[in-house]
Amino acid sequence: MSKFIVQTVCVHGRLDPVGDGVALADGVAGRDSDHDVRERAAGRLTETQAPHLDVFSIMPYHARFGHAGDPAWMSRQTAKLGKLLGLRGEPGEKKFIWPIVQSSDWGERVPVSEIPEIIRHGLKAPATGVMTFAWSGIAKEWPKVDAIGQAYREVRR
């Protein structure tokens, strides 16, 4: 386990701990009205930090940023980052995108029934792994915890 990051993520259909030497860059996707700011920030990230990072973990929290009921919004954000970085999520790439997807109710409610779709969109190429946000928001909502576990197990099959 990394001294800096203790997370379990789904990588290429396997549940694995994040390994040593993995650097993560977090970035919030934000609202559509913040488009220009996000694009400039993503451009700076690419130009200055990308050579030093292994994993890009954007946070496209769909319900938080005005896209409740539209989990596909997450994969659209990941696709934009992939295009910016020149990543397609193919074997042999040296950099990875692992979005942190929203499962907890932050902003609008995220229904349990939406969890499998959220995980699927989180894993759409160019993403090669996915993490869910956040334990504190779902710790008392066991049907959601079960749905997340089931969605990850489905990916492994």
Which tokens go with 133? Answer: 């946000």
pLDDT of amino acid 133: 77
HEC states along 88-130? CCCCCCCCEECCEEECCCCCCCCCHHHHHHHHHHHCCCCECEE
Please answer whether residues 57 and 98 qualify as being in contact, where contact means their C-beta atoms are separated by less than 8 angstroms: yes
**H or E segment at 59?**
strand 55-59
Backbone φ and ψ for 11, nearest 5 degrees, come out as -120, 120
> What are the residue ranges spanned by the domains of the chain?
8-156
pLDDT along the chain (157 residues), means of 10: 34 39 41 53 63 86 92 94 92 93 91 96 95 83 93 85
* Those residues with Cβ within 8 angstroms of residue 93's Cβ, 6 or more apart along the chain or in another chain: 87, 128
Q: Considering the entire predicted model, what is its pTM?
A: 0.72
Task: Please tell me the predicted confidence (pLDDT) of residue 38.
Answer: 53
Closest CA to 77 of 119, 18, 27, 134: 27
Residue 93, classified by CB atoms within 10 Å of its CB into exposed (0-12), middle (13-18) or buried (19+), is: middle
Instruction: Give the position of tokens 């990543």.
Output: 87
Q: Give the sign of the dihedral formed by CA 131, CA 79, CA 14, CA 93.
A: negative
Q: Is 144 helix (H, G, I), strand (E, B) or coil?
A: helix
- Confidence at residue 51, expressed as pLDDT on a 0 to 100 scale: 79
